[in-house]
Amino acid sequence: MRWSVSLAMLSVVAVWASPQLTSAQTPRRQRVEWTVSQIVGTPDPPAPYRLEQIFPQVSFENPVDMTMLPGTDTWVVLELGGRVYSFPNRADAKPELVVDLKQHLPKLDRAYGITFPPDVSKTRECYISYVEKAGLPNGSHVSRFPVRQLEPLRVDASAEEEIISWLSGGHNGACLKFGPDGMLYVSTGDGGPAFPPDPLRSGQDISNLLSAILRIDVSQGEQGRKYRIPADNPFVSRPGARGEIWCYGHRNPWKMSFDSLTGDLWIGDVGWEMWELVFRAQRGGNYGWSIMEGSQRVHYDRAPGPTEILAPTVEHSHIESRSVTGGFVYRGQRLPKLNGAYLYGDYVTGNFWSARPAEKSQAVVQDEPRQTNESVLRQAAPGVEVREIARSSVQVITFAEDRAGELYIVGYGGKIYRLVENDAETERRPFPQRLSETGLFADVPSFQPAAGVLAYQLRVEPWADGTLAERHLAVPGAGVLEQHETQNPQVGQIRGQWKFPVNTVLMKTVSIETRAGDPASRRRLETQLLHLHEDQTWRPYTYVWNESQTDAALAPQEGSYLELSVEDPRFPGSKQTRRHRISSRSECIMCHTARGGVVYGFRPEQLDCPHLENNVNQLQLFDELGMLAQPVRSHTRFAAPHDQSASLEVRARSYLDVNCAHCHRRGGGGTAALELIESLELSRTHLTEAPTQGAFNLLDARVVAPGDPYRSVLYYRMAKLGKGHMPQFGAEQTDPAGLRMIGQWIRSLTPAESEDDTVAKLRRRQSEQLNRWMKDDDVSTAQLALASLLETTSGALQVQERLEHETELPEERRRQAIVQGAASEDPRVRDLFEAYLPPSERTRRLGAVIDVEELLTRAGDMERGEALFSRAAGVQCRNCHRIGAQGKPLGPDLTAIGKQLDRRQLLQSILDPSAKIDPKFLAWTALTEDGEIHTGLITQRDERQVVLITAAGKSITIPTAEIARLAPQQKSLMPDLLLSEMTEQQVADLLAYLSSLK
């Protein structure tokens, strides 16, 4: 058994408790310490710069902004609570209180920004932004205050003059900067909380001041306002628009600045679940929120603003950034290698980056190829070079620039820093390149852990494509696990969860049986480590086992693949080549998110179960070994899917927690507004609400539709393969047992009291069709019923379920369903059936994860590409598009497409056809009173009838009186995953042909 080696190590020094002894009666066990660890530091090179504290006698309480008084060398700092301080730009400086706004403005809840006009010596005024409590229509303020004295600086808070105000909320923006044009620029947020995304729908709405950068002239007023709207603002003449808006589509712009040389406006915009964003803004620019979060689509159903959505200049994944803080383009002399680069940081991770600007123009998001591998750390606009330049533990709240262009960094802890070249000692202890060098094993070939390395198991294992896991904990020396007493989920500190000693290692070794059910065929694939670095961050590493199973080598940072020959349990005796993904280090952190504490397995609720070879509860065991600072008694309801002693609800909710909740929680990175933590009441999970990331053509879809798995997007995503399959990472195959249990749980939930009549009609219709397909003696009747079921996602889902669980289904009906389902031109249907084909009948295709850059570098052949378009089976372009006289006119004509789009743009239009849809080719879905669903382009519509042409080219006429519902679709008729069915070379050939059409 997989735990025997580790338990043998313990048995030398410990006497296992009898099952009859209580915890109080059980003698404490002697602990063997782990003293041979070689896992220290990191294999990565040091950052080129580090932070150095300056102004040692200067400290503030929650500073939020810092600026230099124009024309002087005096710094001005604003604290969150409203106090303003000044101090000279000298190493021995001490701060002096300028004003305490709270004394004069009792309504002030938080202050955010302060700035001075460039000619402050003449105007004698300053501008401060602050907010009252959230939810007030005019609770966010920008006000002008007199400067009574410059040296020492004195501001009169009793003489406030309000300039502009807007709704106060969780996202207020409130950064203030004077531009080189003399105008005052003001940032505003979307006015909402972090969750759900943009509840006020303000992101694309330019009829209010939210989610924008405002540009106003405060040197004069007009029309009863304390400011003038510049005549060259982009939306001045647009009816219904607020003329103050300069650009829009921002979530929460946190700090902006102007390049002192070029005048470019740079903005750091705090993201939602996936990306942190940097924009080099332009007049009238639309930056996407909340249709987009950078390159990640958030809301499919919201109307865009009046201008096209522009791509971010840089976007950082939440793997390396959690709350961006905008900085400055460096124009100083002290760090010449950084001159001309935009420098910025992250409030949560303490990381810093440089971005070297590209040309002024920006690509439109819809036309720019989107990186489909969502595990990337960062993405940048073409020509922009981004580098990580420093790492720290500082909460970067703001940046400041002095008169010489030198950069200063303000930490929320109250200290001020600057960047210096990292000339620290670079001689580092070599990081282990092989598993045998880590100190985790006494003997690797026999899989014997080192003394003090303890095995453990989980109460509920996540689904991982049928692989097996062996888990170990290694705590250095006499270290103990304490509990976090405070809550800071942004850095992974969860109150009540364990706080591990530095250099702790959690280890999981993944194996597979190449013949399912045969232990003799077991092969170890990889050993995954989570190492707690000295900076209190968890670092993931993977060691890949060799063929002889004698050792494992450190995987490259970007990960890799293993080619395995395994027997498919569906087809005994057959072999298939299976690609096992060795996750990149960034992919590991995609699941081990900080919001849930990073460590998701080694937790009380997962350890509250007996060790495999005895009846000692693991929590009791670790306590008796002296490893827990405080005894833990879990009261979890966690239960494995096969645990029939637990209720169906507990098993299902445990399954969703373990497999989904690391992403689907607040701040976890999942873009659907769900919280799948087991301890939450169902009503708080948002599971029964409408899906926000696509309904897959399910009628009246819900994430979970109580009583009806066939309207449940969650159930469908678990049942399918390819893009959209869930869980998104760590598993590519479906889990039949888990799927069946989730289906049973959904059926057990109480449906809504009132059900849409069309839903009921469709259910009855499909039930009849299902019965005919399975039982009708007439073959043609059965075939027609099957064909009808496979026209809809919900019908196909029911067919797939019968294939999996209906033991009495005739073999010829079963084979017929597999062949027709796998041949469907609709990928939403096809993805449900592919796994049922024998390996020999499956094509090695690109799949869901497509490397755009690799495809673009591959040379293509125009003649082969023309043959693919014109004649190849399975390539659907000609079914909708026309080239010359060939093809069909359902989609745009491609006769001269090479003149309009280059290869990169062509590829993007295929990868994401819904990003930009010509109104002439907008798809509509019609639901009839009889429950039939038809989707296609409207070719005729009048008071008598609607005529649709479907993706298959079929014309359908529906009398208007028979239409229960007719609605436009946000998704293109062109499927998202057309290329997933092709090989790399086929795609390159097709692009070569299309590019030649000029």
Whether residue 796 contacts residue 770, with contact meaning beta carbons closer than 8 Å, is answered with: no
Looking at the DSSP assignment, which residues form a beta bridge with residue 443? 448
Q: What does the H/E/C string look like for 277-292?
A: EEEEECCCCECCCCCE
SS3 of 436, please? helix
Pairing of strands 74-79, 482-483: unpaired
pLDDT, tens digit, for every residue of 548-602?
Answer: 999 999 999 888 889 888 887 777 777 877 888 898 887 787 788 777 888 999 9
pLDDT band at 970 (very low <50, low <70, confident <90, very high): low
- At residue 952, the pLDDT reads 59
Q: What is the pairing mode between strands 352-356 and 385-390?
A: antiparallel
SS3 of residue 393 by DSSP: coil
Give kind and range of the element (H or E) at residue 327.
Answer: strand 324-329
Q: What percent of the chain has pLDDT over 90?
A: 57
pLDDT value for 359: 56
Distances in Å between the Cα of 752 and the Cα atoms of 649, 704, 755 are 18, 12, 6
Angle at 873 between CA 867 and CA 874, to 5 degrees: 115
- Nearest residue to 639 via CA among 610, 662, 605: 605
CB contact at 8 A, 410 and 63 = yes
Residue 181: pLDDT over 90:
yes
pLDDT confidence of 839, banded at 50, 70, 90? Answer: low
Residue 490 — pLDDT band, cuts 50, 70, 90? low
C-alpha separations of 237 from 222, 241, 428 in Å: 16, 8, 62
Q: 759: closest CA among 819, 711, 804, 696?
A: 711
DSSP string, 759-773: HHHHHHHHHHHHHHH
Identify whether the C-beta of residue 49 lies closer than 8 Å to the C-beta of residue 419: yes
Q: How confident is the model at residue 808 (pLDDT cuts 50, 70, 90)?
A: confident
H helix intervals, 809-932: 811-822, 827-830, 852-857, 862-870, 877-880, 897-900, 903-911
Tell me: the pLDDT tens digits for 930-951? 656 677 788 888 888 999 887 6
Q: How far apart are CA 786 and CA 792, in angstroms?
A: 11
What is the per-residue burial (b if ≥16 Cβ within 10 Å, else e) of 463-474? bbeebbbbbbbb
H helix intervals, 791-861:
793-805, 811-822, 827-830, 852-857
Residue that the structure tokens 């004003």 belong to: 99
Mean pLDDT of the chain: 87
pLDDT tier at 886 (50, 70, 90 boundaries)?
A: confident
CA distance 418 to 409: 6
Q: When comparing pLDDT for 405 and 910, which is higher?
A: 405
Q: What band does 663 get if pLDDT is binned at 50, 70 and 90?
A: confident
Separation of alpha carbons 544 and 559, rounded Å: 10
Mean pLDDT of 530-548: 93
Close Cβ partners of 146 (under 8 Å, ≥ 6 residues apart): 124, 125, 155, 156, 159
Pair 962, 928: CB distance under 8 Å: yes
Pairing of strands 468-474, 505-513: antiparallel
Sign of CA dihedral 649, 655, 656, 657: positive
Per-residue tokens: 103: 């004394």
User: Closest Cα to residue 276, out of 316, 310, 248, 313?
Assistant: 316
Is 225 or 588 the better-scoring residue by pLDDT?
225
What distance in Å separates the CA atoms of residue 319 and residue 325, rounded to the nearest whole number?
16
Q: Please give the DSSP secondary-structure letter assigned to residue 980.
A: G
The pLDDT of residue 932 is: 64
Name residues whose C-beta falls within 8 Å of residue 461's C-beta, 6 or more positions apart in sequence: 469, 640, 658
Helical axes 984-995 vs 903-911, angle rounded to 10°:
120
Type of residue at 789 = L
Among the residue ranges 39-48, 96-105, 351-360, 430-439, the one predicted with the least confidence is 351-360
Relative orientation angle of helices 811-822 and 793-805, to the nearest 10 degrees: 140
**Helical H segments across 495-636, by residue range:** 585-591, 604-607, 618-624
Q: In this predicted model, which residue has the larger pLDDT, 353 or 672? A: 353
Q: Residue 587: what are its φ and ψ, rounded to 5°?
A: -65, -35
Considering only the top CATH level, what class is 49-421? mainly beta
Q: Using one digit for the tens of pLDDT, what is the confidence trace for 408-463?
A: 999 999 999 999 999 865 556 789 999 999 999 999 999 999 999 999 999 999 99
CB–CB of 291/321 below 8 Å? Answer: no
Query: If we measure between CA atoms, which residue out of 692, 799, 794, 690 comes closest to residue 752?
Result: 690
- Specify the higher pLDDT residue, 220 or 170: 220
Number of alpha carbons in the 13 Å side-chain half-sphere of residue 727: 23
Q: Which two tokens stand for residue 161?
A: 């003059």
Distance CA 822, CA 834 (A): 5
- Of residues 916 and 955, which shows the higher confidence score? 955
**Burial per residue of 211-244, b for 16 or more beta-carbon CB atoms within 10 angstroms, e otherwise:** bbbbbbbbeeeeeeebbebbeebbbeeeeebbbb
pLDDT tens per residue across span 642-656: 999 999 999 999 999
What's the order of all strands across the beta sheet hosting 63-68? 63-68, 74-79, 83-88, 96-100
Tell whether the model's pLDDT for residue 163 goes beyond 70. yes
CB 852 within 8 A of CB 588: no
pTM value is 0.71
Planar angle of CA 450, 453, 454, nearest 5 degrees: 135
Residue whose C-alpha is closest to residue 245's, from 278, 276, 286, 288: 286
Q: How far apart are CA 307 and CA 797, in angstroms?
A: 40
| SS3 labels along 510-527 | EEEECCCCCHHHEEEEEE
Closest CA to 322 of 275, 256, 354, 380: 275
Among 14-18, 138-142, 888-892, name the most confident range.
138-142
The phi, psi pair for 986, rounded to 5°, reads -60, -40
Q: Given CA atoms 659, 662, 663, 665 in this order, what sign does their dihedral have?
A: positive
Q: How many other β-carbons are positioned within 10 Å of the β-carbon of residue 506?
A: 23
**What SS3 string covers 5-74?**
HHHHHHHCCCCCCCCCCCCCCCCCCCCCCECCCCCCCCCCCCCCEEEEEECCCCCCCCEEEEEECCCCCE
pLDDT band for position 362 (cuts 50, 70, 90): very low
Over the stretch 693-735, which tens digit does the pLDDT of each residue have? 778 889 889 999 999 999 999 999 999 987 678 887 778 889 9
Cβ pair 694, 728 in contact under 8 A:
no
What distance lies between CA 904 and its chain's CA centroid?
Answer: 24
DSSP 8-class letter at 676? -
Q: Token digits for 273?
A: 């679940």
- Cβ pair 298, 290 in contact under 8 A: yes
The tens digit of pLDDT for each residue in 318-353 reads: 878 889 999 999 999 999 999 999 999 999 888 999
- State how far the Cα of 768 lies from the Cα of 752, in Å rounded to an integer: 23
Q: Are 890 and 879 in contact (CB under 8 A)?
A: yes
First-to-last C-alpha distance (Å) of the chain: 66
862-870 helix and 984-995 helix, angle to the nearest 10 degrees: 100
Radius of gyration of the chain (CA): 31
Residue type, 124: R
Q: Report the alpha-carbon distance of residue 273 to residue 292 in Å, rounded.
A: 11
Residues in the chain: 998
State yes or no: pLDDT of 873 exceeds 80: no
Domain ranges of the chain: 4-39+433-634, 49-421, 637-754, 757-835
Both tokens of 652, joined, read 């299902």
Q: Beta partners for 928?
A: 963
